[in-house]
């Protein structure tokens, strides 16, 4: 058995790809399905040269999105509106799981060159982990980038390159509250943590659980820490840069530590509802809508599913920014919209760009609104909220109009520790103190920063 070096290399390469595939199968479960393998082959010939008679030529694209109901409805609305304008184009929708499982599917498909023609994925820190400069098409020269609201650009950029177009609304992260309970008990919207604490005690005295915690879905536990970022930045304006450069941390920045302290306080003062450890996201929505709890720390995208299940009660829900130390500096933390990207391996980059141009237009936002009620403002210049937008969504718009809003930390820094949700559950369940939680999170952040290869770590 003599194998030439070339053959050996080939075998090694095959084995390496086998190992990668084995990993993805492990986390994925529902990884690249039969659908996806048929798709790229079906598309039309040369991608680079746009032919003059393109309008007549049939073109097909595959659009990969996560499997959240709202995402699918919105993507279908984009596709329907776009293909009505361009009858020669067909766009096939493909779905993948969300969360960390979805992250791995996206990374694996990009790494193996098997990505759909266009795909939907988070902006901000998660985008940075996709190695966008190597894997995604740079859109900086495209005219539609000029349509973005200025504040959005950095969430989809790396250096001078721009990679995606906003494909949903921005969301507020803060406290959703039941206005009926507030009216019944004569409470005012709090702007400081002390006022919030007083409200909670009044609500508890009235026999209602003050705050919904849904640790059965661990990601929901992070809001007190993440949504506090506007307040952090108000007191430490350069926290994001220092944190990225390994100069500021949660343990040595009292304003940043506050989010962990709030979780500890809420547990110690018994503000959670009874089944906080087992209840899930859906339970939290129901508890809030039906008035069994008064507050739910959450992102406003939850409103669209609350609206689907509780169309009347959703009108009684409002939103306020997470209260901090200083009423004068209180404001809302905003989550930037996820974006649609084009991988460099796309079979038809030109057509994909046209589709992205549509998504990034005012007509695109109108199409999106026809699919899903907006959960916040669009990041496209000239787009507006419909008259019948939900009251809680108008509450966020009010913060933005009053210039009292700013993006969450994950849109200003590429570093977000992956274990935050377990740590916040532990602090919110009384297993760790706020200090221990912050210390563990700092270690978690360091791991992520090293993985990203950032300078200074």
Partner 1 sequence: MSSSGAGPGGSAPATQVAARPAILGPQRSRAQVTSSYPHWFYLPAAVVFGVIFVVPTLLAFYFSLTRWTLFTTEFIGIDNFVQFFREPALTMGARNTLVYAAVTSGLKVVIGLGLATLLTSRLRLRNLLRSIIFFPVLVSTVAVGITFAVLMHPSDGMINRSLEVVGIDGPRWLTDPSIALLSVAFVDVWKGVGIALVIFIAGILSIPEDYFDTARLEGGAWVRFRHVIIPLSRNATFTVILLSFISGLRTFDLIWTMTRGGPGFTTDVLASTIYKQYQAGFYGLATAGNVVLFIGVTILIFPLMRFFARHEIEL
Residues at the interface with partner 1 (CB under 8 A): 15-16, 18-20, 22-23, 25-27, 100-101, 103-104, 107-108, 110-111, 129, 131, 134-135, 215, 218, 274-275, 277-278, 418-419, 422-423, 425-426, 429, 431-432, 440, 443, 447-448, 450-451, 453
Q: Which residue has the tokens 């969450």?
A: 408
Specify the 3-state DSSP secondary structure of 173: strand
CB atoms within 10 A of CB 238: 11
Decide whether 238 or 274 has the Cβ nearer to partner 1.
274
CA 100 from chain centre, in angstroms, equals: 12
Q: Running DSSP on this structure, what letter comes out for residue 215? A: T
Decide whether 112 or 370 has the Cβ nearer to partner 1.
112
Sign of CA dihedral 164, 167, 171, 176: negative
Decide whether 324 or 428 has the Cβ nearer to partner 1.
428
Decide whether 384 or 419 has the Cβ nearer to partner 1.
419
Decide whether 201 or 443 has the Cβ nearer to partner 1.
443
| Residue 138: burial class (beta carbons within 10 Å; 0-12, 13-18, 19+) | middle
Q: How far is the CB of 135 from partner 1 (least distance, A)?
A: 7
CB atoms within 10 A of CB 122: 24
Decide whether 57 or 274 has the Cβ nearer to partner 1.
274
Decide whether 412 or 440 has the Cβ nearer to partner 1.
440
Q: How far is the CB of 38 from partner 1 (least distance, A)?
A: 23
Q: How far is the CB of 448 from partner 1 (least distance, A)?
A: 7
Decide whether 44 or 101 has the Cβ nearer to partner 1.
101
Decide whether 136 or 367 has the Cβ nearer to partner 1.
136
Decide whether 267 or 310 has the Cβ nearer to partner 1.
267
Distance of alpha carbon 178 from alpha carbon 95, whole angstroms = 34
* DSSP codes, 239-288: HHHHHHTTS--STT-HHHHHHHHHHHHHHHTT-B-TTTTT--HHHHHHHH
Q: Taking Cα atoms as reference points, which of 230, 202, 250 lies closest to residue 328?
A: 230
Distance of alpha carbon 352 from alpha carbon 348, whole angstroms = 6
For every residue of 222-241, which 3-state class applies, written as one string? HHHHHCCHHHHHHHCCCHHH
Decide whether 169 or 448 has the Cβ nearer to partner 1.
448
Q: How far is the CB of 226 from partner 1 (least distance, A)?
A: 17
Calculate helix-pair angle for 434-452, 420-428, nearest 10 degrees: 180
Q: How far is the CB of 121 from partner 1 (least distance, A)?
A: 14
Distances (CA, A) of 116 to 17, 47, 113, 243, 317: 19, 14, 9, 35, 38
Distance of alpha carbon 187 from alpha carbon 112, whole angstroms = 56
Q: How far is the CB of 108 from partner 1 (least distance, A)?
A: 6
* DSSP codes, 347-404: S-HHHHHHHHHHHTSHHHHHHHHHHS--SS--SBTT----TT--HHHHHHHHHHHTT-
Q: How far is the CB of 246 from partner 1 (least distance, A)?
A: 16
Q: How far is the CB of 29 from partner 1 (least distance, A)?
A: 8
Q: Running DSSP on this structure, what letter comes out for residue 30? A: S
Distance of alpha carbon 227 from alpha carbon 212, whole angstroms = 15
């Amino acid at each position: 058995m003599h194998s030439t070096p070339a053959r050996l290399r080939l075998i090694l390469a095959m084995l390496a790809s086998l190992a990668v595939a084995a990993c993805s199968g492990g986390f994925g479960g529902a990884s690249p399905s039969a659908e996806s393998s048929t798709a790229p082959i079906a598309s039309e010939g040369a991608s680079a040269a746009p032919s003059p008679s393109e309008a007549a030529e049939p073109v097909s694209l595959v659009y990969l999105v996560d499997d959240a109901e709202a995402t699918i409805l919105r993507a279908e609305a984009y596709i329907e509106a776009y293909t009505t304008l361009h009858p020669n184009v067909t766009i096939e929708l493909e779905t993948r799981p969300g969360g960390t499982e979805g992250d791995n599917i996206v990374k694996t498909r990009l790494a193996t060159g098997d990505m759909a023609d266009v795909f939907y994925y988070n902006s901000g820190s998660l985008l940075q982990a996709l190695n966008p400069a190597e894997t995604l098409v740079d859109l900086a020269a495209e005219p539609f980038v000029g349509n973005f609201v200025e504040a959005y650009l950095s969430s989809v950029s790396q250096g001078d390159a721009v990679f995606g177009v906003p494909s949903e609304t921005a969301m507020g992260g803060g406290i959703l509250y039941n206005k009926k309970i507030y009216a019944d008990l004569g409470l005012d919207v709090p702007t400081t943590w002390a006022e919030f604490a007083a409200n909670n005690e009044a609500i508890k005295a009235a026999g209602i659980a003050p705050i919904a915690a849904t640790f059965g879905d661990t990601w929901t536990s992070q809001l007190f820490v993440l949504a506090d970022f506007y307040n952090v930045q108000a007191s430490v304006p350069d926290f994001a840069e220092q944190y990225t450069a390994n100069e500021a941390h949660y343990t040595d920045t009292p304003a940043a530590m506050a989010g962990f302290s709030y979780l500890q306080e809420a547990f110690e003062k018994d503000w959670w509802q009874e089944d906080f450890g087992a209840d899930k996201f859906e339970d939290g929505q129901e508890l809030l809508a039906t008035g069994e709890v008064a507050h739910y720390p959450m992102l406003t995208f939850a409103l669209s599913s609350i609206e689907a299940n509780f169309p009347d009660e959703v009108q009684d829900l409002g939103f306020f920014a997470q209260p901090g130390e200083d009423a004068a500096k209180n404001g809302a933390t905003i989550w930037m919209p996820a974006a649609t990207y084009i991988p460099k391996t796309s079979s038809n980059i030109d057509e994909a760009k046209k589709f992205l141009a549509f998504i990034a237009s005012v007509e695109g936002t109108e199409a999106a609104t026809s699919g899903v009620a907006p959960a916040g403002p669009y990041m496209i210049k000239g787009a507006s909220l419909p008259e019948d937008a939900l009251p809680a969504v108008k509450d966020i718009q009010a913060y933005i109009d009053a210039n009292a809003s700013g993006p969450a930390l994950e849109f200003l820094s590429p570093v977000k520790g992956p274990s935050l949700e377990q740590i916040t559950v532990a602090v919110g369940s009384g297993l760790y103190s706020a200090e221990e939680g912050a210390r563990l999170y700092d270690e978690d952040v360091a791991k992520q920063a090293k993985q990203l290869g950032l300078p200074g770590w």
